[in-house]
Structure 1
Amino acid sequence: MNALAHPAYDSLLDRLHTCAPNLDNGNFNHLPMVIEALHALGLGYRAPAWIAEEESRFLPVMGPVEPIRADNLAAALGQRTRFADWVIYFADEIETQGWIPVLDRWARRLAPGYITAAVHGPVRTGHAVRALRRADTLSRRTELAHALAAWAAMYRTLPGRQPASGLRAGSRPLRDVLETLPLVEARHRPQSGSISAGLLQIAGLDGFAAHIAGADLSGDPALRAEALIEVFLDLFVETISTPYSMVVFTHAVTGASAAREMMAVTGERTGRALLAGAFGAGCALKAAFLPKTLPEALPARTAMPDDSAQHLSRRAEATRDDHAVKLTEAALGAYLRTGNRTAIEASVRAIEAVSA
């Protein structure tokens, strides 16, 4: 059954809406994204077990501090203690204005902070949007409020000077820009630890912002979104060799996929800002985390046994790894839309990375 028509999905969201956006170890709570991805993969019946396994690590939502208003809104951006205030604010905005206008306005405003919480801010929002596109319910509107609230409360932009506008007028192909990125010195690229902390390395990287601003994001927005996903699927397959690198570069793919989901209902201006944000985030991940030693190139698998979407979905779920599930869901979606077999290879690599 399609995820977003499944009657159990809303009740799972209601359970998660009593929780803070982070777990007791400080990491972002992936479950709002994972349960949506599981339903999209036809494995929604497995979602309650994932929640049961993780719920001992849930934290309660901290109480509200002060209502968010026009005169204090800017100061509340990036303030984690204001998460509950942001939830109330977005829930009210969505109720009075409708979820699509609120998304359009706020995705554009938040897009420069696409790296927020290691890209989880926009990724959770993308999953929430897809759920709402299939069924507009109170639980799903509340999930969008929580997703936007997490993005706003944890808001961070790339360190260093960045272009003021998300609407870029570059002329270079995406792949060319990605392949010629200035990189953090190999000895400073983390191979473990916090992704958000590792991205701070970008602050000392001369020319990074100007380089990524040269990317050509013009043309049909939907086609550009697919091109972005394709470029980052290639990067994923060419780069990952360890569970850590799999986690890092999953966010480039799922970030691009989230932009595509949001762009399906936003205006063109917001869509361009989302493309720019997703591309910049993926470039930052490569610049800061490209492994010192890349895996050997493998011959293309023209025929992989049991590579059906259903089989790969079940293999991903069996890993019990959040990122393997989210990567597989995004990759299989791209494969079903475009026929790009690199997406299949990416899913296999992700599963193998955490199953070794």
Structure 2
Amino acid sequence: MTEITGDITGDTTGTLDEALERLHSSGPERLGHLTNHAPMAVEALASRGQAGAVHRWLDLYAPRLEEFPAGREPVTAGNWREALGDPRRAADWIAYFTREVGERPWRDVLAEWWPRLLPGMYGGSTHPVIRVGHAVRTLLATAPDAVPTDPRRTELAHGLGYWAARHRTVGGIAVRQGPTDPTDPAAALDAVVPIANPSSGEFSELLGRVTALPVWAASVTDPDEARARLADLVRAATHRYATHGHGEETMLVHAATAPNAVLRTLPALPRHLWAPSLAASWTASAAVTAMYAPDAPVDYKAPGTFTAEEVVERALAHGDEHVIKLTDTALDVGDERALAAALRAIEISAPLV
């Protein structure tokens, strides 16, 4: 299989910090439930060598942004449980985490809150954990002897705050399909049974219809094995998009990008949190697969001779935020079939206009 070289180049121009500062006056959502994808997309573009296009892309996306919401009541160490999962408290949560990352090392804040937030990674269509994953990648790219910039720390605060406000668990998935635990995550995703009538209902309502998922990697406890299996899951979900993405070209992106956000975050977390992170990621990827699986796959088409850089440029020209983020994940996977998934997303998704 051909390996695709899509190295992370980062941004040394200051453009990403400028874009994040510009975006932090906007809310994490619009119209009460649609996610603001701009912070994730600009981080992906800057990380893939497209910092020069960030502000032009943001100008196109800007009409979708809304003002930052008003606060209601400060979140504190004593009352945070009451505010967890209340989207009306998004501004309160973001203010709380902004104070936290301003006063403490960001890794300490992340390690404290990750196990609290992880069971609720399914809220907001998994976008909050994806935003956190992009923020952490940027922070990890900071030189070990350097202090992360304020915009990058603040972006983590916005991601964590959005996650806390949209925190939603899936405790209703109590019955598991099948007696086996296949090593191959592709086989496990193939075994997911689609829900009935997936075309009716928003993400949160469809999620409530997912009551059974295959068992996969449930016995993994070793941190290194958990990280390896999570990388396998990201690869399988990305590959699957090339043949199954037409089931719902936007939402099925999250079957790959949500677990990849977790994978990107693992190096910043204590190792004992890696195995629980794998379990939550599997549930998210499999649930999205159940909610949006097509009636039948299409035949796989090899992508041809495109380079990683050419695919990034095509994704940028297309402009859709989910296309950009799937392309970013595909380059993390780094093989021919992943690149084909990115090109498939470009083909079937509506462009940003």
Query: TM-score, normalization: structure 2?
Result: 0.87
Partner residue, 1:85:
92
CA contact (8 A) 1:6 1:39 kept: no
Matched, 1:21 2:32: no
Which of the numbers 149, 152, 165 marks the counterpart of 1:153?
A: 165
Which of the numbers 237, 241, 262 marks the counterpart of 1:236?
A: 241
CA contact (8 A) 2:326 2:342 kept: yes
Identity of aligned residues (%): 30
Matched, 1:36 2:43: yes
Distance 1:69 1:162, change over 3 A: farther
Q: In structure 1, how many angstroms separate the alpha carbons of the residues matched to 2:186 and 2:343?
A: 23
Q: In structure 2, how many angstroms separate the alpha carbons of the residues matched to 1:2 and 1:172?
A: 36
Partner residue, 2:253:
250
Partner residue, 1:181:
192
Partner residue, 2:337:
342
Which of the numbers 111, 118, 124 marks the counterpart of 1:111?
A: 118
* Aligned amino acid, residue 201 of structure 1: R
CA contact (8 A) 2:135 2:152 kept: yes
Partner residue, 2:155:
143
Q: In structure 2, how many angstroms separate the alpha carbons of the residues matched to 1:42 and 1:230?
A: 22
CA contact (8 A) 2:139 2:153 kept: yes
CA contact (8 A) 2:20 2:151 kept: yes
Q: In structure 2, how many angstroms separate the alpha carbons of the residues matched to 1:348 and 1:193?
A: 28
Aligned-pair distance for 1:85?
1.3
Aligned-pair distance for 1:253?
0.9
Aligned-pair distance for 1:111?
1.1
- Aligned CA RMSD, in angstroms, stands at 2.3
Cα deviations across residues 220-265 of structure 1 (Å, max 9, x unaligned)? 23322211111212321231226xx221111011112101111011
Aligned-pair distance for 1:171?
5.1
Matched, 1:11 2:10: no
> What are the ranges of 5 or more consecutive residues in structure 1 without an aligned counterpart?
164-169
* Aligned amino acid, residue 189 of structure 1: P
Aligned-pair distance for 1:331?
0.3
Which of the numbers 48, 58, 62 marks the counterpart of 2:65?
A: 58
Aligned-pair distance for 1:25?
6.7
CA contact (8 A) 2:242 2:300 kept: no
CA contact (8 A) 2:40 2:325 kept: yes
CA contact (8 A) 2:234 2:256 kept: yes
Partner residue, 1:352:
347
Partner residue, 1:167:
none
Cα deviations across residues 181-215 of structure 1 (Å, max 9, x unaligned)? 34313xx122x76333322221xx3x43xx44663
> What are the ranges of 5 or more consecutive residues in structure 2 without an aligned counterpart?
1-7, 143-147
SS of the residue 1:263 aligns to: helix
* Aligned amino acid, residue 289 of structure 1: Y
**Is 84-93 or 146-155 further displaced after alignment?**
84-93
Q: In structure 1, how many angstroms separate the alpha carbons of the residues matched to 2:220 and 2:125?
A: 22
Distance 1:213 1:110, change over 3 A: farther
Aligned-pair distance for 1:48?
0.8
Distance 1:53 1:25, change over 3 A: farther
* Aligned amino acid, residue 134 of structure 1: A
Aligned-pair distance for 1:355?
6.4
CA contact (8 A) 1:177 1:214 kept: no
Q: In structure 2, how many angstroms separate the alpha carbons of the residues matched to 1:316 and 1:216?
A: 38
CA contact (8 A) 2:231 2:263 kept: yes
Distance 1:355 1:120, change over 3 A: closer
Q: In structure 2, how many angstroms separate the alpha carbons of the residues matched to 1:194 and 1:171?
A: 30
